[in-house]
Amino acid sequence: MIEKKGGNVIIAADNSPLDFLKQHFPKITTIKLSGYSPNYPSNGSMAFVMIKSLPEMIREAKKAKKELQIIIDKFSVDAVISDNRYELSTLKIPTVFITHQLNIQTSGWQTIGKPIINKLVNHYVSKFNEVWIPDVVGNFQLSGRLSISNKFKNKSYKIGLLSRFSSKRNYNFTDNIDILIILSGPEPQRSILEKILLSQALKSELKITILLAKPGENINKKVDNVTIISHLPDDEFAAVIQSAKVIVSRPGYSTLMDLSVFNKKAIFIPTPGQTEQEYLAKRLLEKGIAFSQSQNKFDLSESLLRYDKFKGLYISNMPYLLEARIDKLLNSC
């Protein structure tokens, strides 16, 4: 949208996000910008790992901030839009922070650290000129209390849902499937869930496709009733989503925004220890939108008996919200 309005875009990212963006925007200048990737545990104690990693996270944040200043000077950047990178603000030019997480959720003993988390989040977010929240306005907002913060209400703006898919397109598909399993997220939890779901899928007689979320590999094979695919281009991915009766996936926010385009029924399995996903899955369950189960208790047969009682995930998007913010940003440069 920025390019269509005459702006020149530069993309800066690291590791797999950079590879993904290069693939989707081959004509746009891309730059490697250091980022921090935490190691996710297999036992679900994510809060302890994050607390232990805090010094390293702060060091990496300072490093990325310095790299950003160099990029701004080298390319004469007029504004920065930071997608969930809390550290990428600057006093030199207008900066925008895109996030749905202004109110980080905690549970159990983690609530002891909530004041520290709030202070850290507020410290970083306060340095941005505006906060753009990928959500709609109205009765039902996908992010719920995750995006509610009285501290930033005067500079927070909803920009509609952000998805690579469009509800106005009919993606061509030729084959109907019963279940589409979409794996995503960091290791080792991604592989743990893959093992659980593949084992249960093979015990059913249903037609099931599993997307492994491994873009660097070339896997396309069939094992009995299950088709296993490493990765699909966007149009094929959208077509497979449309062809499936039900989706099984993590309730990551990007996934929820993508699925909301298609008005699909879903079964969600939150990543153990990721309080954001646990909150979103519980909220959608309580609202009668989508069924969910925890990973350690997941039962595919039981889920298939219960998911159809839920109305499915569909939110009418509001693209004009994003356009209004981009217009204002470009006019300020």
Residues 232 and 154 both lie in one domain: no
Residues 322 and 284 both lie in one domain: no
**What residues have CB less than 8 Å from 83, skipping those under 6 apart?**
98
- Which pLDDT does position 246 carry in this prediction? 97
- Which pLDDT does position 216 carry in this prediction? 80
Residues 197 and 151 both lie in one domain: no
Residues 207 and 296 both lie in one domain: yes
Residue 45 pLDDT > 70:
no
For tokens 């590791």, what's the residue?
15
Q: Which domain holds residue 36?
A: 3-161+318-332
- Which pLDDT does position 256 carry in this prediction? 96
Strand 291-292 to strand 80-83: parallel, antiparallel, or no bridges (unpaired)?
A: unpaired
How far, in whole angstroms, is CA 285 from its chain's centroid?
19
**DSSP label of 79:** -
Residues 231 and 96 both lie in one domain: no
Q: Is 169 inside any structural domain? A: no
Confidence bin at 114 (pLDDT 50/70/90)? confident
Least confident of 90-94, 105-109, 264-268: 105-109
Distance separating alpha carbons of residues 187 and 193, to the nearest angstrom: 10
- Which pLDDT does position 263 carry in this prediction? 86
Residues 183 and 299 both lie in one domain: yes
Nearest to 229 by CA among 245, 243, 217, 242: 217
Q: Which helix (H) or strand (E) holds 54?
A: helix 46-75
More confident residue, 270 or 21: 270
Q: Is 283 inside any structural domain? A: yes
Strand 226-229 to strand 220-223: parallel, antiparallel, or no bridges (unpaired)?
A: antiparallel
Task: List the CATH number of the domain containing 26.
Answer: 3.40.50
Q: What is the CA radius of gyration of the chain?
A: 20
Residue 139 pLDDT > 60:
yes
- Which pLDDT does position 23 carry in this prediction? 82
Residues 33 and 147 both lie in one domain: yes
Residues 11 and 126 both lie in one domain: yes
Confidence bin at 120 (pLDDT 50/70/90)? confident
Q: Is the peptide bond before 188 cis (omega within 30 degrees of 0)?
A: yes
Nearest to 294 by CA among 107, 152, 162, 156: 107
Whether residue 223 contacts residue 212, with contact meaning beta carbons closer than 8 Å, is answered with: no
Whether residue 297 contacts residue 62, with contact meaning beta carbons closer than 8 Å, is answered with: no
pLDDT tens profile 265-310: 999 999 998 889 999 999 999 999 999 999 999 999 999 999 999 9
Q: Is 167 inside any structural domain? A: no
Q: Is 172 inside any structural domain? A: no
For Cα atoms 33, 238, 186, give the angle at the middle one, nearest 5 degrees. Answer: 40
Residue 173's SS3 state is: coil
Confidence bin at 176 (pLDDT 50/70/90)? confident
Distance separating alpha carbons of residues 155 and 133, to the nearest angstrom: 11
Whether residue 265 contacts residue 312, with contact meaning beta carbons closer than 8 Å, is answered with: yes
Confidence bin at 38 (pLDDT 50/70/90)? low
Residues 155 and 218 both lie in one domain: no
Q: Is 74 inside any structural domain? A: yes
Q: Is 171 inside any structural domain? A: no
Residues 113 and 151 both lie in one domain: yes
Residue 41 pLDDT > 80:
no
Domain count, the chain: 2
Average pLDDT over residues 83-95: 93
Residue environment code for 78-89, b if the CB has 16+ CB neighbours within 10 A, otherwise e: ebbbbbebbbbb
Residues 198 and 133 both lie in one domain: no
**HEC sequence for 251-302:** CCHHHHHHHHCCCECEEECCCCCCHHHHHHHHHHHHCCCCEECCHHHCCHHH
Residues 14 and 154 both lie in one domain: yes
Q: Is 170 inside any structural domain? A: no
Average pLDDT over residues 186-210: 95
Task: List the CATH number of the domain containing 194.
Answer: 3.40.50.2000
Least confident of 70-79, 101-110, 197-206, 271-280: 101-110
Residue environment code for 152-189, b if the CB has 16+ CB neighbours within 10 A, otherwise e: beeebebbbbbbebeeeeebebeeebbbbbbbbbeeeb
- Which pLDDT does position 241 carry in this prediction? 93
Provide φ and ψ at 332, rounded to 5°.
-90, -10
